[in-house]
Amino acid sequence: MYINFEKENKYTFADAELSYLEELLNSIDKIISEITSKIKCSVDPESDGILDKGEYFIGVGFCAMQRYLVDVLQDKKIDKGLALQLGPKNKDGVAISIVVHAAGNYWKHSPEWHIWMDELDDRSQKTVDRLVSHDGHAWYVLSDVLHELCNEKELSLCSCIPHLEKWRFAVHQKLQKNV
């Protein structure tokens, strides 16, 4: 939940959850940085399990971001599905908040999918389809998603914070129009 202050058409948000999220993502980014260093030194990072470890911590970060999306909507009279469509879009025109939400779901639920990938229900298949790259490569889905959201910068969960702030502002604007 956030509190908004408006003065002379400038918006300021008091958002404790965002500061908590940023602190958590900073700590995960330190782990990701260590993992990235190990990947660079490894002859075979996949066999060494380093890539899986990176994917795990990136997934935790996406789950925390997913929680933030829900925190923003707390006590707001807006449909969650509509709200997730707001804000910045990725290169494919999909709202980044939808990608973040799907990434959180992917990390939470993928252990139960690996055996039945060809038998996923529609909702689960939609989550996978939102995330898996179009070239068919799907080994490290969350790393690929984070790389796309970082816009060619260093792999960092904190680089997603501006996307989340823009989304929060878009939600706020939508709610103001509905008042």
pLDDT of residue 37: 94
- Indicate the pLDDT class of residue 123, thresholds 50, 70 and 90: low
pLDDT of residue 139: 74
pLDDT of residue 121: 58
Alpha-carbon distance 167 to 8, whole Å? 21
Determine contact, residues 11/169, Cβ cutoff 8 Å: yes
Q: What is the pLDDT of residues 60-93, one digit of tens each?
A: 999 999 999 999 998 888 999 999 999 999 988 9
DSSP secondary structure string, 43-109? S-TTTTTHHHHHHHHHHHHHHHHHHHHHHHHTT--S-HHHHHT-S-B-TTS-BHHHHHHHHHHHHHH
